[in-house]
Amino acid sequence: MRYPLATDLKTRTGVPDKDARMKNSYIETKGEQQIIRKRPCAQGGVATGSGVAQGGIGIVVNGVPTIVTVWGDTPVTDTDPGGWTNGATYADGGSGPDTTYAALNPLDKNTLITLSNNNLTATLSATDTHYGSARANTGKSSGKWYWEVTINNLTSSTIFIGFNKLAESITSYVGNSTAGWSYDSSGNKANAGGLPGGVTTYGSTFTTSDVIGVALDMDLFQVTFYKNGVSQGVISTSWPYTYINGTVYPVVSCGFTANNQVTCNFGSSPFSYSVPSGFNSGLYT
């Protein structure tokens, strides 16, 4: 694209004393002739950020797909985004635009649970004297992570929201083991290996339409459960928190009554309540 310099100045929006044609351009001199040439530049951007798109560009450097974004006031460069697509929106949890959020694992549940909604909704398929449980496909051994579980239906009996290690059984409710912890709809906390041990009083009861938030701090080995955005209290020294070391995975358990149902949100959708300060918004790889 060529613009003879002899033509009148074209006002640049917001900068009236600058020639608009010089933005992202350079002057090429050939003999007595000067030509303004446009520099090649990214056309468009990448929607990133937590809640608000911060913007960014996708480029290819020496054959390697690269995304450069702004996270808050910090530039973030991801040289392994797993490829990117024109017009796509890339969710960013603060560690790069190639976030993959957790879901419940169809290979890590017992037969009483049916999964739907992209493996985010767990339904107890039949009335039974046992609990149906499903474990997520992503676990954490460090960092601070927040996710939510919505109670879609609770007719009777109990729903448990918590986490445990892969070695723990999913044939019972989460928390019914040494390395499992939970908050249940009766307002109790459960950890079979804990002190004072077993199921003990913790917070408010919850039921259909309530949203349970889980703020898991794997650096301090403690967890806080929230009911509709209200903290039910930090759980750490009241339990043997040293058992929380290693890698733990979110688990949901529905008990006894058919069609008891929950939906997990590990960050792929907007949360119902604010993420606690210092915690990652969602559970992701």
Q: Which residues contact 97 (CB under 8 A, 6 or more apart)?
A: 46, 48, 56, 67, 69, 76, 78, 81, 84, 90, 91
Please tell me the distance from the alpha carbon of residue 262 to that of residue 151, in angstroms, as a whole number. Answer: 5
Mean per-residue pLDDT, 108-130: 91
What pLDDT shows up at residue 36? 66
The backbone torsions φ and ψ at residue 235, rounded to the nearest 5 degrees and listed phi first, read -110, 115
Run of H or E residues at 232:
strand 230-235
- Pairwise pLDDT comparison (258 vs 11), residue with the higher score: 258
Q: What is the pTM of this model?
A: 0.66
Q: Which residues contact 64 (CB under 8 A, 6 or more apart)?
A: 79, 80
∠ Cα 88 149 197 (to 5°): 140
Contact 27, 19 (CB under 8 A): no
* pLDDT level of residue 156 (50, 70, 90 thresholds): confident
- Pairwise pLDDT comparison (186 vs 178), residue with the higher score: 186
What pLDDT shows up at residue 81? 46
Q: Which of 68-82, 178-192, 196-210, 260-274 is predicted least confidently?
A: 68-82
DSSP symbol at 73: T
Question: Per-residue pLDDT for 95 more than 60?
Answer: no
Alpha helices per DSSP H over the chain: none
Contact 229, 216 (CB under 8 A): no
Domain range list for the chain: 1-41, 43-99, 104-281
Please tell me the distance from the alpha carbon of residue 29 to that of residue 2, in angstroms, as a whole number. Answer: 12
What pLDDT shows up at residue 278? 96
Question: Per-residue pLDDT for 15 more than 80?
Answer: no
Q: Which residues contact 208 (CB under 8 A, 6 or more apart)?
A: 151, 152, 153, 154
| Burial status of residue 7 (CB atoms within 10 A of its CB: 0-12, 13-18, 19 or more) | exposed
Residue 283 three-state SS: coil
Question: Per-residue pLDDT for 41 more than 60?
Answer: no
Of the candidates 23, 15, 41, 43, the residue with the CA atom closest to the CA atom of residue 3: 23
**Cis, bond preceding 196 (omega within 30 deg of 0):** yes
In angstroms, the Cα distances linking 258 to 140, 172, 213 are 31, 16, 24
Single-letter amino acid code for the residue at 129:
T
Provide the mean pLDDT of the chain. 77
Query: If you search the block for the tokens 């020496």, which residue do you land on?
Result: 62
What pLDDT shows up at residue 271? 97
Q: Does domain 104-281 have CATH number 2.60.120.920?
A: yes
